[in-house]
Amino acid sequence: MTTTVTEEPAAPPVAKTARPPRKRGRLVPYWLLLPGLLWLVVFFALPMVYQASTSIQTGSLEDGFKVTWHFATYWQALADYWPQFLRSVLYAGAATILCLALGYPLAYLIAFRAGRWRNLVLILVIAPFFTSFLIRTLAWKTILSDGGPVVSALNALHVLDVTSWLGMTDGNRVLATPLAVICGLTYNFLPFMILPLYTSLERIDGRLHEAAGDLYATPATTFRKVTFPLSMPGVVSGTLLTFIPAAGDYVNADLLGSTDTRMVGNVIQTQFLRILDYPTAAALSFILMAAILIMVTVYIRRSGTEDLV
Amino acid sequence: MEQYEPDSLSPAQLAAMRRSLSNGRAALSRRSLLRASTGGALAVGGFGTLSACGIPAASQGQGGVSSEDHSAKEKVINFSNWTEYIDLSADEKHRPTLDAFTKRTGIRVNYTEDVNDNVEFFGKIKPQLAAGQDTGRDVMVLTDWLAARLIRFGWVQKLDPANLPHAYANLSSQFRSPDWDPGRAYSYPWQGIAVVIAYNTKATNGREITSVSQLLDDPKLKGRVGLLSEMRDTVGMVMLDMGKDPGTFTADDFDAAIARMQKAVDKKQIRRFTGNDYISDLSKGDLAACLAWSGDIVQLQVDNPDVKFHIPDSGYLAGTDVMLIPNKARHKTNAEKLIDYYYEPPVAAQLAAWINYVSPVEGVKAELAKIDKKIANDPLIVPDKAMSAKAHLFRSLSSKEDKAFEEKFAQLTGA
């Protein structure tokens, strides 16, 4: 975006011809863009082209791969791995909803009630990022261990009976079940939900709440009619920042899951590293990208907000 | 987007307008996002560029490609190994066997623990080796099946027997002639690995787990059994249990073993297919029993006496991690000296006493007894006759078989 402010007057089209724009000043933004563009070309566009090419090749590692325009790889990949795609969308969707349910009250609290503790709480939200993603996920294996206090408590409260009935857990354990994977995803991506929510809530003018009160709106009505609509940009960007990486994640499914919780990220990893079927791995990546792009587009259109930040 | 700021506005109005830039329609909107993504798609759609790419054949014919050997001038070896796979001094700052090697020969060893996973490491070194470039490594330790692939591709160098007198003389007979490297022209074992059954007596209520059938069928273990994510190790053990030899099996035998495990997966007997992470699961008791690698279990038992292991009567799968010299390595002769050094029984004993895997060196037992009698008598470290008789190797696979089998195994593990 070139949101530069020029001195040019907002004159009607006729006036434009009267004074030609200054050339040097006009080019500056593009020069400033150059490093970013180069970065995108080298680290985004080129790998994309390379992957796109890989996805339509055939061959083997030993004899080499050649571009044969073999689009059937895409259909084969979809036919073989649609359950994993579906699972990725469901798990990422569930994690996003959980993140929103957990993150919204917290972001609201930080924005309006935390007072002088605000910065401290914000740091606490970001603190998990100080350790590695892998270590954080492995820590859950200790917390949710079969004989551990968490699982014992859930058993005593008969929570696991309910989740078992829903098919989210299996017997008296949490680890190696869909529930563990969804919880892991929720935990790992929660800050990506809280931070955008906080920025958009924090922008809301407190006097709007007072005005709503003056007009006899109950707190619930104020939230429904004033606060929530104004925080929609945060909700939209938070859900996107959570859903998109969660759908492609494979670490949580690998460490916290079992054979029936593998997501599409795991399939891509296996295809690429173990089976050495690079075309299928590339095709799966593109299908995932396309699926996410379509879902996100529909979502943004329906969410009724123009802004993403 | 061009924005103008008329002079006639008050400061407050100006501020409001600037805010709208970062907050209103001019900000990152869904339209600009969609526009940007269409642009990206168009850029990718340059079909001509697509066909220009392609991945050249990996195979360079057996034999390997050497380059000028700088061993005489540069007294250095770059050594890549797995994590925690070498002896350490008490303060964990020195590696005694490597230090002794440097002292004796004057060759400095740059030791890097950068092998975490065979397939990942293969992905890492593949581009250089496929392009015929130096990987910056002189010697690396990889598991036998991957070594077989590298030899088949012609990515590793033939060793010079003249530099390997100890290795030639002391390699134990069990490891002498694998079908993928007859007579050890390209590789020498660093350590041997036995795949065993391990269990946590606390989690099994004191019961012993003695067979793979029990792992796959015992209802008391339901949901608490782990198998290994290494295809050969897991399938090999199941084949042995079914009375087939993993050294000579057919495709039908393989399918039968997969079908047998699929049954166990379907009835939720199997909790997970794991890599090294079974160690913590087994120690906590989340896994009651699992397939495991011998050295891990010897080390785990020191911390947790509840962990036991059993070698099934049907036999066990023996694997090796082998030392290889990749193509274009700059210090081949130095690397060969290092390989040979680890075949001197006193050095091999020092190594085995620390890492507790199967030592591939003949005559290590007497040397080990000087360090620790208990270790010297442990069949998991120095296999006795009965133990050796139960060892089975997994036969080498053609690349077609490799792909087909890995695919079937991946289906079994969920993808």
In chain A, which residues have their Cβ closer than 8 Å to the Cβ of B223? 170-171, 173, 176
pLDDT at position B13 is 52
**What is the residue type of A100?**
L
pLDDT at position B341 is 97
Q: Is B394 helix (H, G, I), strand (E, B) or coil?
A: coil
Q: Do B53 and A49 touch (CB under 8 A)?
A: yes
pLDDT at position B61 is 64
The pLDDT-based confidence of B46 (bands split at 50, 70, 90) is: low
In chain A, which residues have their Cβ closer than 8 Å to the Cβ of B280? 141-142
- Residue A1 located in a structural domain: no
Q: Is the pLDDT of residue B39 over 70?
A: no
For helices B96-105 and B345-355, the axis angle rounded to 10 degrees is: 160
Q: Do B57 and A63 touch (CB under 8 A)?
A: yes
Q: Is the pLDDT of residue B32 over 60?
A: no
User: Measured between CB atoms, which of A48, A171, A277 is closest to B44?
Assistant: A48
Q: Is A62 helix (H, G, I), strand (E, B) or coil?
A: coil
Determine contact, residues B195/B236, Cβ cutoff 8 Å: yes
pLDDT at position B399 is 87
Other CB atoms within 10 Å distance of the CB of residue B163: 18
A95-129: string of b/e by CB count within 10 Å (b at 16+)? bbebbbeebbebbbebbeebeeebeebbeebeeee
Q: Please give the average per-residue pLDDT across A203-214, as a whole number.
A: 92
* Higher pLDDT pick, A4 / B397: B397
Q: Is the pLDDT of residue B20 over 50?
A: no
* Higher pLDDT pick, B86 / A14: B86
User: Measured between CB atoms, which of B40, B286, B410 is closest to A274?
Assistant: B410
The closest of A237, A229, A28, A173 to B281, measured between CA atoms, is: A173
User: Measured between CB atoms, which of A63, A170, A203 is closest to B268?
Assistant: A170
pLDDT at position A18 is 54
Chain A interface test: which of B50, B232, B270 (most A C-beta within 10 Å): B50
* Higher pLDDT pick, B45 / B341: B341
Q: Is A71 helix (H, G, I), strand (E, B) or coil?
A: coil
- Residue A50 located in a structural domain: no
User: Measured between CB atoms, which of B51, B123, B265 is closest to A259?
Assistant: B265
Determine contact, residues A242/A93, Cβ cutoff 8 Å: no
Q: Is the dihedral of CA B88, B93, B98, B104 positive or negative?
A: negative
Q: Is the pLDDT of residue A122 over 50?
A: yes
Q: With respect to CATH, is domain B193-318+399-412 assigned 3.40.920.10?
A: no
Chain B interface test: which of A81, A201, A250, A276 (most B C-beta within 10 Å): A276
Taking one residue from A and the other from B, the number of pairs with CB-CB distance under 8 angstroms is 172
pLDDT digits 0-9 by tens, A236-259? 999 999 999 999 999 999 999 999
Q: Is the pLDDT of residue B44 over 90?
A: no
Total domain count, chain A: 1
In chain A, which residues have their Cβ closer than 8 Å to the Cβ of B145? none
- Residue A68 located in a structural domain: no
Q: Please give the average per-residue pLDDT across B348-374, as a whole number.
A: 92
Q: Do B119 and A273 touch (CB under 8 A)?
A: yes
The pLDDT-based confidence of B385 (bands split at 50, 70, 90) is: confident
In chain B, which residues have their Cβ closer than 8 Å to the Cβ of A301? 30
The pLDDT-based confidence of B21 (bands split at 50, 70, 90) is: very low
Please name the fold of domain B76-192+320-380: D-Maltodextrin-Binding Protein; domain 2 (3.40.190)
Helix (H) or strand (E) holding A234: helix A232-248
From A212's Cα to the closest Cα of chain B, the distance in A is 22
In chain B, which residues have their Cβ closer than 8 Å to the Cβ of A288? none
The pLDDT-based confidence of B65 (bands split at 50, 70, 90) is: confident
Q: Do A307 and B28 touch (CB under 8 A)?
A: yes
From A309's Cα to the closest Cα of chain B, the distance in A is 7
Q: Give the nearest chain B residue to A7 (CA atoms).
A: B4
From A109's Cα to the closest Cα of chain B, the distance in A is 22
Q: Is the dihedral of CA B405, B407, B409, B412 positive or negative?
A: negative
Q: Is the pLDDT of residue A302 over 50?
A: yes
> What distance in Å separates the CA atoms of residue A68 and residue A58, rounded to the nearest whole number?
6
Q: Please give the average per-residue pLDDT across A174-181, as a whole number.
A: 94
Q: Do B25 and A308 touch (CB under 8 A)?
A: no
Q: Do B265 and A66 touch (CB under 8 A)?
A: no
pLDDT at position B81 is 96
- Residue A160 located in a structural domain: yes
The pLDDT-based confidence of B63 (bands split at 50, 70, 90) is: low
ipTM confidence score:
0.85
Say which CATH number the domain at A218 has. Answer: 1.10.3720.10
From B112's Cα to the closest Cα of chain A, the distance in A is 21
In chain A, which residues have their Cβ closer than 8 Å to the Cβ of B5? 5
Least confident of B60-64, B95-99, B141-145, B253-257: B60-64
Q: Please state, rounded to an integer, the average pLDDT across all residues of chain A.
A: 89
Q: Structural domain boundaries of chain B?
A: 76-192+320-380, 193-318+399-412
User: Measured between CB atoms, which of A3, A176, A278 is closest to B271?
Assistant: A176
pLDDT digits 0-9 by tens, B207-236? 999 999 999 999 999 999 999 999 999 999
Angle at B390 between CA B384 and CA B396, to 5 degrees: 120
pLDDT at position A26 is 84
* Higher pLDDT pick, B387 / A305: B387
Domain range for A278 is 84-301
pLDDT at position B45 is 47
- Residue A308 located in a structural domain: no
Q: Is the pLDDT of residue B7 over 70?
A: no
Determine contact, residues A29/A6, Cβ cutoff 8 Å: no
pLDDT at position A123 is 93
The pLDDT-based confidence of A78 (bands split at 50, 70, 90) is: very high
* Higher pLDDT pick, A25 / B19: A25
The pLDDT-based confidence of A27 (bands split at 50, 70, 90) is: confident
Q: Give the nearest chain A residue to B3 (CA atoms).
A: A5
Most confident of A59-73, B13-27, B201-215: B201-215
- Residue A58 located in a structural domain: no
The closest of A60, A77, A258, A91 to B400, measured between CA atoms, is: A60
- Residue A15 located in a structural domain: no
In chain A, which residues have their Cβ closer than 8 Å to the Cβ of B120? 273
Other CB atoms within 10 Å distance of the CB of residue B270: 26
Q: Do B58 and A62 touch (CB under 8 A)?
A: yes
In chain A, which residues have their Cβ closer than 8 Å to the Cβ of B281? 141
In chain B, which residues have their Cβ closer than 8 Å to the Cβ of A256? none
In chain A, which residues have their Cβ closer than 8 Å to the Cβ of B53? 49-50, 53-54, 57, 67
pLDDT at position A172 is 86
> What distance in Å separates the CA atoms of residue B220 and residue B215, rounded to the nearest whole number?
10
Structure token digits, residue A101: 């349910």
Q: Is the pLDDT of residue A22 over 80?
A: no
C-alpha B126, offset from chain centre: 15
The pLDDT-based confidence of A6 (bands split at 50, 70, 90) is: very low
pLDDT at position B164 is 96
pLDDT at position B90 is 87
